[in-house]
Amino acid sequence: MKCISYFFVVCFTLLAGNGLYGGPFFDKFNSTTRQKLEEFGNKNLNEFGGHVFYPFGGPDVTYPLVMFPNLVTLTLVGLEPVMVPESAVVELDNSALSNLSSLYKRSFFITDQMALGLRGVAALILKQLENLGATDITVKAIEGKENSVQIKCTYNGKERTIRYYKADLSNSQIDIEFLQSLKPLDVVFFKAASYLPHQKNFSKFREFVLENASNFVQDSTGVPYEYLNKDKFDLTLHGQYLKPYKFPGGFEQNSFRKYSEELSNALLSFSFGYGGGYVPTNVLVAKKRPPVTL
Ligand SMILES: C[S@@+](CC[C@H](N)C(=O)[O-])C[C@H]1O[C@@H](n2cnc3c(N)ncnc32)[C@H](O)[C@@H]1O
């Protein structure tokens, strides 16, 4: 099965090398989805500022920047290497371009495709910023942390800091001290997280974010609904949850489906993670309640 998906990824990469990717995917994203995401963010995510932590985010700076109007610092974590360029002005090779087209076309990067030939995420992040019209862009490695990068820019009139760290968040590799150093976690953001926060093998990570984050904004690949206990969190669902998109590790969340059916929300008008066109997509906002004091 994995061989077949590799075969398609290789074909896609080769096609992209022959000029398949161009501006059209970005142009379409820019003229349709971007505005919808901005409207959604202005209406529903306006109160969240400060630090947005995006585990399993890979190189995706586009969605958090467009969706959180008051984002000050964005921290991304993924398995992809960084490769800090000498300047903020970059040319993408064919592999990077075909990966970027996936974000604009499907709303997410594909892990297997990135593993095939992507040389580093830094250039991909810089190109997205350029496409979004960000200015005053600077880039540098983060001292004392291998495979990391810090990028500063002005986006929509505000200065933003973006940090990316290559780090494995599975139980056997997780570095809790590193995660502690990222606090405060005003918002934890999940999109197309390969359902990893559902897995036993990521229980330490899940416990850490449940304990330390103030808010979650996520698709159904993030922390499972059953952990976002209604005594501890105020929940708002946008769109509908029906079932996981066919993906290894994604399991049915029956209580989430029941909750969604009772709400009977309208469908979202944009893709947000897996399942676009096949299963309804959703954005769940979970705000941690302050502890009860006597
Ligand atoms: C499907 S991609 C989605 C990226 C991004 N969330 C998006 O929507 O475009 C999943 C990301 O999870 C990262 N990932 C997979 N396994 C991981 C692990 N054990 N620890 C940390 N990140 C991991 C991959 O490197 C990749 O960046």
Mutation choice for ligand 1 from 56, 82, 118, 170, CB with most ligand atoms inside 8 A: 56
Pocket test for ligand 1, best of 80, 111, 125, 274 (most atoms within 8 A of CB): 111
Q: Ligand 1 atom 12: the closest Cα is on which residue?
A: 56
| Distances from the Cα of 153 to the Cα of 31, 136, 157, angstroms | 23, 5, 10
- Tokens representing 138 are 């600077």
Secondary structure of residue 249 in the 3-state scheme: coil
Q: How many angstroms separate the CA atoms of 51 and 70, rounded?
A: 9
* Shortest-distance Cα residue to atom 7 of ligand 1: 108
Return d(Cα 289, Cα 273) in angstroms, integer. 27
Which residue stretches of 18-119 are H helix? Answer: 23-28, 34-44, 62-67, 94-106, 111-117
For the segment 66-81, what is each residue's pLDDT rounded down to a tens digit?
999 999 999 999 999 9
101 C-alpha to ligand 1 centroid (Å): 17
Per-residue model confidence (pLDDT) at position 251: 84
pLDDT in tens, the chain (294 residues): 444 444 444 444 444 433 334 488 999 999 999 999 999 999 999 999 899 999 999 999 999 999 999 999 999 999 999 999 999 999 999 999 999 999 999 999 999 999 998 999 999 999 999 999 999 999 999 999 999 999 999 999 999 999 999 999 999 999 999 999 999 999 999 999 999 999 999 999 999 999 999 999 999 999 999 999 788 999 999 999 999 987 777 789 999 999 999 999 999 999 999 987 789 999 999 999 988 777
Beta bridge partners of 153: 160
Tell whether ligand 1 has an atom less than 6 A from the beta carbon of residue 166.
no
Burial class (CB in 10 A: 0-12, 13-18, 19+), 293: exposed
Q: Which residues contact 172 (CB under 8 A, 6 or more apart)?
A: 201
